[in-house]
Structure 1
Amino acid sequence: MTRIKICGLSTPETLDAAVDAGATHVGLVHYEPSPRHVSLGNAGKLRARVPDHVSTVVLVVDPDEALLAEIVENVRPDILQFHGREAPEAVAVTGAQFGVDTWKAIGLRDAAALDRARTYKGCADRLMFDAPPALLPGGNGEPFDWALLDRADIGMPWGLAGGLRPDNVAEAIRRTGAPLVDVSSGVESAPGVKDIALIHAFCDAVRNA
């Protein structure tokens, strides 16, 4: 079955809803410009609610080593997801240094972006294909041209993000064969405000795809 990541969770109620709905991954954003930003203190409290069978992902943007160390100490994430301009070597060093899996978000504008994505092979544990970067990384609600992934040989684990919603995620899975789907704004009633009914609808749509 396709795995499910609900990203940008910021309250106990919506995190619990994501777990109850069947999410395999829950995402916490630590990036102050984002409406989904959570402090490390709150992220740690949310992390404590996550059961062992669900993975916790912390999304960061161009973090320095000190911030990464603070995140690992206070939140204990299973995965760090990078949404900035982090080089392959930096992603690899982070994973080795802190003993966590690393995911790298890649904005897919054209086929050349796929070639750039492949430079992370052996450095990141998973690529997350998203819409091209906008004002803020992630959670912009914009899909990209899924045809870019047609017959693409990715060569490493990957997931699909960018503009996914309960009403289009099944088509996205059928079209791309995505092994993991990632949603944020597609299950919100307003920027940063998760909707419990939409979270359940999204997870149901993935299961029925």
Structure 2
Amino acid sequence: MKWKVCGMREMDNIQEVAKAKPDYMGFIWAEASPRYVGEDFVIPQAVLGKTIAVGVFVNRAVTSIIDLSQRAGFTWVQLHGEEKDEEILALKKAGLTVIKAISVADKQDVEGLGLAPDFYLFDTKKGKQTGGTGQRFDWDILAAYTVGKPFILAGGLSKENVVEAIELSKKYPIYALDFNSKVEIKAGLKDVQEVREISEILAEN
């Protein structure tokens, strides 16, 4: 099972988390987020090694994302706003792999989704908050997802429920698990020991 640690910001913390070798690491370019990396942030590729960097955005202009991807050094993007299919397709045409995040509260949120993104990410709906809620949605809702595209499972994932999430992949096309606020000491600073334990659990399962 592939896995991602999202909301990284502090350079020393990035270096330590990278040692656990997550498949993906997310960096947030959204000013409203407490995990915002800032406009001048550049992905430390030498630190990440084989870990793929993902730029995370909320309703940002396509041209701005493309320009930033070239300057900051990422080829995957994760969209948490109301981005339309034409925007997603424009990003893909520019050579970017696109994850479209969907906030989930009931089965209607996962029904009738389109084919434009490369992957979906299902996170917990909580008011206007776009990710990082630390709460888990009802996974039974996933039965209503019929598009068939692989998706990333997010929302309240931690070492306590990672085995249950892995088991869920026997029923649904889960591509990866996304860890964020439940493995944090504070916003943007991950508990390295917690991340290591998750890495070990994933390796054993």
Q: Does TM, normalized by the shorter one, top 0.5?
A: yes
* Corresponding letter in the other structure for 1:124: P
Is contact 1:140-1:162 (8 Å) kept? Answer: yes
Secondary structure in structure 1 of the residue aligned to 2:111: helix
Say whether 1:11 aligns with 2:7: no
* Corresponding letter in the other structure for 1:55: I
Is contact 2:157-2:182 (8 Å) kept? Answer: yes
Stretches of structure 1 lacking an aligned partner (at least 5 in a row): none
Cα 1:198–1:147 change in 2 (3 A) is same
- Which residue of structure 2 lines up, in the alignment, with residue 49 of structure 1? 47
Rounded to whole Å, the distance in 2 between the matches of 1:183 and 1:80 is 16
- Which residue of structure 2 lines up, in the alignment, with residue 192 of structure 1? 188
Is contact 1:129-1:162 (8 Å) kept? Answer: yes
2:151 to 150, 158, 161: 158
Rounded to whole Å, the distance in 2 between the matches of 1:45 and 1:147 is 36
Give the aligned length: 202
Is contact 1:126-1:158 (8 Å) kept? Answer: yes
Stretches of structure 2 lacking an aligned partner (at least 5 in a row): none
- Richer in helix (by share): 1
- Which residue of structure 2 lines up, in the alignment, with residue 207 of structure 1? 203
Percent sequence identity is 26
Rounded to whole Å, the distance in 2 between the matches of 1:83 and 1:185 is 16
Secondary structure in structure 2 of the residue aligned to 1:172: helix
Cα 1:46–1:136 change in 2 (3 A) is farther
Root-mean-square deviation (Å)? 1.8
When the two structures are superposed, what TM-score results if normalisation uses the length of structure 2?
0.90
Please give the per-residue CA displacement for 1:66-104, whole angstroms capped at 9, x wherever unaligned: 4213312211212010001111221112211x2110100
When the two structures are superposed, what TM-score results if normalisation uses the length of structure 1?
0.88
* Corresponding letter in the other structure for 1:190: K
Secondary structure in structure 2 of the residue aligned to 1:56: strand
Q: CA deviation at 1:47?
A: 4.1
Say whether 1:174 aligns with 2:173: no
